[in-house]
Amino acid sequence: MDFEVPEKVKVITGMMDEFVEKELIPLEPEFLRRPFREMLPVIEEKRNLVRRMELWAPNHPVEYGGMGLGLVEHGFVSESLGRTPLGHFVFGCHAPDAGNIEILYLHGTPEQKERYLRPLVAGKIRSCFSMTEVEMPGSNPVMMDTSAVKDGDDYVIDGQKWYSSAADGAAFAIVMAVTDPDAPPYMQASMIIVPTDTPGFNLVRNIPVMGHAGEDYASHAEILYQSCRVPRQNLLGREGYGFVIAQERLGPGRIHHCMRWIGICKRVFDLMCSRASRRIMSPDGRTLATKQIIQSWIAECAAEIQAARLMTLNAAWKIDTLGTKAARYDISFIKFYVAGVLQKVVDRALQVHGGMGMTDDTIIAYYYRHERAARIYDGTDEVHKMSVARKILKDYEGRTVR
């Protein structure tokens, strides 16, 4: 396919690039040093600017106040906004709300859409997605302890979740819980909407990630559900279809993540090249950029960023035109490949910056802390590699290749 950026998207991303450069990157020193809630008033000012520019919620449905961009179009947007940790949040297309908006739009009842979807797209409330469990392997989603037992017109939810991103201050959670333990493994769990002010919803803590617990949107929570009772009308989609809905959420979600990672790669690559060109290493004025090892890193990073970008756009195009099932290999490819490129580029940018790279004087250390998890969440790299390899090798069973 041709990856020529459509003119409409060029205009949109051009405006976003300028906004990121002038309005958001200058906020990063404060973002890195101040509690997130202290930053919210100025962040909300920036969000209102975005609304007035009519760039709010680029990937969300037009009828609910978004721009309605397709997956490939939003891929370019995500790349632009990924250059700063504030980008997606300020433009109203941030995780986990973005994924929750998708599944509410596809599977929500009219009442659920009015109560939860509309204010979520508008940025009036936030949400979280509560799936990963403390004692269960996230790499095997059929292993789940959290249960939702029917009691009259209610579900009673019990279980322990963690890494429920942005739960601190969220209005509701979408919870994965076992509703029928006797069903086939992939039909046991359902998704249920749980308002966070429901008795029995207990936010235990914001989990410190490499020493940083964070708060509000910028956090990952441990949640204890203790006899948490919600109406059965809070079921999202059909009972037993939690894993099916989760897969619908994960395919496009990985495009969002991967293109955001490309934006991060481009940002730290720029910082790395600038540092190498300016950092004098000898009395005769030679810089880091004259060192062959640095030149090799820069060449490799540039090639790998480009390869990762084209792989991701190809996967987005397949999902848009052929459907998620046709793109299942491509989705797995980009998940582990782009995450690996991200880690390599960030690590080399930090190395080129030396001691400064370990500090918060640049954005690199923040990305090093918070994006290492890219190789873990949404399925570990190793699981994606094994899954793809098995599918590929299955095509060779009984075949002789000459």
Q: The domain spanning residue 163 has which CATH number?
A: 2.40.110.10
Supply the mean pLDDT for the chain. Answer: 94
Quote the pLDDT of residue 93. 96
Within this chain, do residues 95 and 146 fall inside the same structural domain, yes or no?
no
Quote the pLDDT of residue 35. 94
Which of 236, 253, 279 is the endpoint of a domain? 236
Q: The domain spanning residue 345 has which CATH number?
A: 1.20.140.10
Express each pLDDT in 263-297 by its tens digit: 999 999 999 999 999 999 999 999 999 999 999 99
Within this chain, do residues 269 and 378 fall inside the same structural domain, yes or no?
yes
Quote the pLDDT of residue 3. 62
Express each pLDDT in 181-228 by its tens digit: 999 989 999 999 999 999 999 999 999 999 889 999 999 999 999 999
Q: The domain spanning residue 100 has which CATH number?
A: 1.10.540.10
Within this chain, do residues 41 and 169 fall inside the same structural domain, yes or no?
no
- Report d(CA 372, CA 250) in Å as an integer: 19
Quote the pLDDT of residue 5. 77
Quote the pLDDT of residue 1. 47
Within this chain, do residues 373 and 248 fall inside the same structural domain, yes or no?
yes
Contact yes or no for 56/67 (Cβ under 8 A):
yes
Query: Residue 160: left (phi > 0), alpha (psi -120 to 50), or beta?
Result: beta
Within this chain, do residues 250 and 325 fall inside the same structural domain, yes or no?
yes
Within this chain, do residues 187 and 317 fall inside the same structural domain, yes or no?
no
Over range 96-125, report the average pLDDT. 97
Within this chain, do residues 104 and 144 fall inside the same structural domain, yes or no?
no
Instruction: Name 136's bridge partners.
Output: none
Q: Is residue 386 part of a domain?
A: yes
Contact yes or no for 92/59 (Cβ under 8 A):
no
Express each pLDDT in 138-170 by its tens digit: 667 778 999 999 999 999 999 999 999 999 999
| 218 DSSP 8-state letter | E
Q: Is residue 402 part of a domain?
A: no
Which of 236, 269, 298 is the endpoint of a domain? 236
- Max mean pLDDT among 132-141, 196-205, 245-254, 329-338 falls in 196-205
- Report d(CA 209, CA 212) in Å as an integer: 5
Whether 2 has a pLDDT exceeding 60, the answer reads no
- Domain with 278, as residue range(s), is 244-394
Task: Write phi, then psi, for 230 (nearest 5 degrees).
Answer: -135, 155
Sorting pLDDT into bands at 50, 70 and 90, what band is 256?
A: confident
* Least-confidence region, from 89-93, 138-142, 306-310: 138-142
Q: Is residue 147 part of a domain?
A: yes
pTM for the model: 0.93
Within this chain, do residues 29 and 159 fall inside the same structural domain, yes or no?
no
- Report d(CA 170, CA 245) in Å as an integer: 21
Over range 77-93, report the average pLDDT. 97
Q: Is residue 115 part of a domain?
A: no
Contact yes or no for 342/266 (Cβ under 8 A):
no
Which of 220, 236, 252 is the endpoint of a domain? 236
